[in-house]
Amino acid sequence: MAGLLSTWKSIAELDLTSKKGSRINSILSQADFGYLARQAVHARRAEDGTKLPPDLVATFSCTRFMSGHNNFVLEVTFSDNVIWLARIHMGMEEQTVEDVVSEITTMRLVKKRTTIPVPKIYAFDATVNNPFGYQYILMELLHGKRTRLGLVPSVPSIHHQKVARQIANILLELSQITFDRIGRLIALTEGGPITVIGSKYHNVVSPMATSLEYFYGDRYGENLEIYESHQDDAQWNTASWILTTGLAHLIIPDLSNGPFPLSHQDLHFGNILFDDEFNISGVIDWSSAQTAPLESLCILPDFTLYKARGARIKDVQDFKNLIVQAPEESSTGTSAYSTKARYMAAYMASDQSELNSRLQATPSRFALDTAETFVKHIYGTTISWEQLVEIYGKLPIPRALKTS
């Protein structure tokens, strides 16, 4: 169907000259797939019990695959025609045992507490020295396809309302899973107590207690890079100040101390699967998921206006408006649900949401433009950029940004 793209590629399409292609080819030739097949049968028997034939076997289709930045996926076909998936870590970036267990904890919690279509986890090994040779997860196969070029250009207009409602519902359901700290979730046993641990992508080890701490941690590395790369430049020094002090303007004050909802943190078109009628059939790749401020949950990369150009700006805005309206329509539900819905709708429709999206996605080399945009939002025409350069241009960087 137009707008949808098969997620599978032929192994023959592997570019062996690329780092990823070479790595996948190496794993296919070196990993002990016989061991993984036996583990799959063992997990299947634990899942389905005595209903299975005694001679059940599993085989791997190594003729086609799916891949992301850190993992690739193969089909596991059982002799009774049931198909699972094996997700194998490529080792392009380090993935700790904690990383794997946190993602699995999150997926199991989402599957238990929401209607969001998340793959069921059957078995995994988070260690790098297991008999298979690589970290792996055996999981449910969710049928569906990704959109070709992103949600806005790929979803036909006739389906915009339906897709918008589904995305809004995902956000609303996640907003109901809350914790009193910001960080990743981890349970040492399936169904065991869940603990919040430090975030993988922030410059803090312990869980965070406030929204401001989260957004500050998110910008720490970028602002430090700005300062250290342009120490004698008043314009850039001012930008680092503005992008630090301006963070307070991104938060919802009433929610700054929590509770904090679970957030996918990477909910873009590449991680959403659709059937041929554009019903969402899967939400995948929960590797970045953690509890976060509600403001972060509301950031949707496919609907950031600053990335759009020309006529596409209106298309993005119209689609985003449909998503904003869905929580507003849900605000007549239970007290807790309706309160979250109102906050989400208001924030997604605000300038703060767009600034937040821009801040999180913009590399430090564009910091001057981003900082000037912040100044216009915070001060309007009352204070000019030039006046702020006079104030901040020669001031030392805020103490908290220093490395010592």
Say what the pLDDT of residue 321 is.
Answer: 93
Say what the pLDDT of residue 202 is.
Answer: 62
CA atoms within 13 A of residue 263's CA, in its CB half-sphere:
21
Say what the pLDDT of residue 4 is.
Answer: 54
CA 98 to chain centre: 17
Q: Beta partners for 66? A: 73
Dist CA 78 CA 84 (whole Å): 8
Q: Which residue matches tokens 């250290």?
A: 228
Q: What one-character-per-residue DSSP string does 49-101 give?
A: GGGS-TT--EEEEEEEEEE-SSEEEEEEEETTS-EEEEEEE--SS---HHHHH
Dist CA 9 CA 131 (whole Å): 27
Rounded to two decimals, the pTM is 0.89
Alpha helices in 261-305 (DSSP H): 294-297
Dist CA 148 CA 290 (whole Å): 27
Q: What one-character-per-residue DSSP string does 128-176 give?
A: SSSTTSS-EEEEEPPP-BEESS-HHHHS-GGGHHHHHHHHHHHHHHHHT
Beta-strand runs (E) in 230-373: 260-263, 272-274, 280-283, 290-291
Amino acid at 309: R
- Taking CA atoms, 230 is separated from 206, 219, 360, in Å, by 31, 17, 21
Helix (H) or strand (E) run with residue 19 in it? helix 19-30
Q: Which domains does the chain have, with CATH numbers?
A: 4-142 (3.30.200.20), 147-401 (3.90.1200)
Dist CA 76 CA 63 (whole Å): 12
Number of residues that make up the chain: 404
Beta-strand runs (E) in 251-353: 260-263, 272-274, 280-283, 290-291
The bridge status of strand 121-125 relative to strand 136-140 is antiparallel
Say which DSSP state 16 is in.
T
The bridge status of strand 4-5 relative to strand 146-147 is antiparallel
C-beta separation of 56 from 41 below 8 A: yes
pLDDT tens over the chain, length 404 residues? 445 556 678 888 888 888 888 888 899 999 999 999 999 999 999 998 778 889 999 999 888 888 877 899 999 999 999 999 999 998 766 778 999 999 999 999 999 999 999 999 999 999 989 999 999 999 999 999 988 888 999 999 999 999 999 999 999 999 999 999 999 999 988 889 999 999 877 656 689 999 988 988 877 778 778 878 887 899 998 998 888 888 888 899 999 999 999 999 999 999 999 999 999 999 999 999 999 999 999 999 899 887 777 768 899 999 999 999 876 565 545 555 678 888 999 999 998 898 888 887 777 888 899 999 999 988 889 999 999 999 998 887 665 544 33
